[in-house]
Amino acid sequence: MSNNMSFFSGFQPHDLLFMAEAAGQTLLISVLSISTGTVFGIIFGWMLQSGNWVVRAILGTVLDVFRSVPLLIQLVLFFNFFPIMGWPLEPFAAGTFVLSLYTASLVAQVARGGIEAVGKPMRRAARSLGMSYWQDMRYVVWPIGLRAVFPAWVGVALGVMKDSALVSVLGYVELLRASQILITRTQEPFIILAVAGAFYFVLSYPLSKYSQKLEERWAS
């Protein structure tokens, strides 16, 4: 009877499929969080720029909390807070909720900067042409302002996509969590982390490339 028994197996082709499925979960939670957070971030940015001082003070303080507290702490606190209140959340729902708020807190400052990038003379000119406030915002401020801050938004989106790895602490099996599982089983961290890095690149590169082409089109 052989005593050479292996408790670990090497990296197998089906492990690559497992990581690909986990990468799909990373993409799903990232797209939902970035899109939802962007919508609310634009609204919050407008409120920070156009609201009265009470709105700016309260909203600014709340958003500062989400920007300042480490995302890992936010995830753990929210995931454990809702069950205490009698509303248990699945890791995916909790992660999406927190990542959306975190994204909104970052995009709010980007959106406010975009609004402020449009000079007052241009806005006065729009109003002098008979545009209402909302027409001014729709046809002048947003097209010019959002173009000005688009690179900053891309940076936020790429950062949130990478930060989605922190949702693994809640038990959500995304790319990093899947990598940890495979490393424990295969004891081949270099190969697995290299593959995980390649997946993150594949997820991030299209957005980066598309944004570059879009900026070139706007500049031409």
pLDDT in tens, 27-75: 999 999 999 999 999 999 999 988 788 888 999 999 999 999 999 999 9
Q: Is residue 2 assigned to a domain?
A: no
Q: Is residue 145 assigned to a domain?
A: yes
* Statement: residue 108 has pLDDT above 90: yes
Q: Is residue 7 assigned to a domain?
A: no
Count of domains in the chain?
1
Residue 159 is encoded by which pair of tokens? Answer: 């950062």
* Statement: residue 110 has pLDDT above 70: yes
Q: Is residue 6 assigned to a domain?
A: no
DSSP 8-class letter at 9: -
Q: Is residue 174 assigned to a domain?
A: yes
Please state, for a pLDDT cut of 70, what percent of the chain lies above it.
Answer: 95
Is residue 9 very low, low, confident or very high in pLDDT (cuts 50, 70, 90)? low
For the chain, the 3-state helix, strand and coil shares in percent, each to the nearest 5, are: 85, 0, 15
* Residue bearing the bigger pLDDT, 183 or 107: 107
Q: Is residue 1 assigned to a domain?
A: no
Q: CATH number for the domain including 182?
A: 1.10.3720.10
Nearest to 199 by CA among 70, 37, 71, 21: 21
Is residue 173 very low, low, confident or very high in pLDDT (cuts 50, 70, 90)? confident
Which range scores top for mean pLDDT: 62-76, 107-121, 178-192, 200-214? 62-76
Residues 174-180: what's their mean pLDDT?
88
Q: What is the pLDDT of residue 12?
A: 77
Write out the residue range of the structural domain in which residue 75 sits.
13-219
Q: Is residue 4 assigned to a domain?
A: no
Q: What is the pLDDT of residue 8?
A: 58
Residue 101 is encoded by which pair of tokens? Answer: 């708020």
Nearest to 47 by CA among 107, 101, 103: 107
* Statement: residue 171 has pLDDT above 50: yes
Q: Is residue 135 assigned to a domain?
A: yes
